[in-house]
Amino acid sequence: MNTMVHSSYNDFTLFCDEQEAIEFLRAGQGNIIQQSEAVAFSQDEGIKLSHLAIELGKPDYAVRQMSRVGRCLIKPVKEMVLNPRIRLGFHHARVIAGYEAGEQEAIAREAIVRRKSVRDLEADKRGFDKRLDKQTERFYQQLSDKFFMATGLNITIVPDNDNKHAGQVMLRYKDLAEFDAIADRLNIDLSED
């Protein structure tokens, strides 16, 4: 079978069917972006990524990453990855593909200018995901204020970074007298037996 090479990004119509895309991948044709797009095309055509991994002799995670890059990475960033003068590789692309499309190009440019490693980008992504937006911060502050109004206690509510249904309720005190007042308010007997 004579497989076709992509001539443009995200132009899956060059493959007649998933079998042609698989042959393209098996033959090792094209660059990493074209291969990623072939993986995404195959998935769109109903091929399971686990099956594709077996067909290609690649680990599942590698095929999933290729699908993500082929499917989610915007064209300008794909072009940066393919530009030999720019130090932005596939693993950078894998991380950048996890951002919203509108943010990807700016993040890629920053990674290039600041010569960020893949680990740097991953750390940035984790930090970005865990920051609260202003509306959520305001909500938790209002909740803390309501607890204060109801109890008279200085209460801070902090949401958990990993579980949106969990968090911490912290009671602050500035001295032992305030600590005793908190215990009294909660009906806790601090006397020693």
Whether 87 is in a domain gets the answer yes
- The answer as to whether 180 is a domain residue is yes
Half-sphere CA count of 179, side-chain side, radius 13 A = 4
Choose among 72, 81, 68: nearest CA to 103.
Answer: 72
153 and 176 part of one domain? yes
Q: What is the value of pTM for the model shown?
A: 0.59
pLDDT tens profile 171-189: 888 888 888 888 888 888 8
Is 139 in the same domain as 116?
Answer: no
CATH code, domain carrying 119: 1.10.10.2830
SS3 of residue 155 by DSSP? strand
Report which of 34, 35, 60 is spatially closest to residue 48, judged by C-alpha positions.
60
Q: How confident is the model at residue 49, as a pLDDT?
A: 92
- Residue range of the domain that includes 106: 12-130
For position 129, what pLDDT does the model report?
Answer: 53
Tens digit of each residue's pLDDT (9 = 90 or more) over 95-139: 999 999 999 999 999 999 988 989 889 888 876 555 566 777 788
Q: Which residues of 58-81 are buried (b: 16+ CB within 10 A; e: fewer)?
A: beeeebbbbbbbbbbbbeebbebb
Query: What average pLDDT score do residues 133-154 get?
Result: 80
Residue 29's pLDDT is 82
Mark whether 146 and 168 lie in a shared domain: yes
For residues 77 and 113, membership in a common domain is answered with yes
Please indicate, yes or no, whether residues 121 and 33 belong to a single structural domain of this protein: yes
Give yes or no: residues 103 and 154 share one domain.
Answer: no
Q: What is the structure's pLDDT at 166?
A: 81
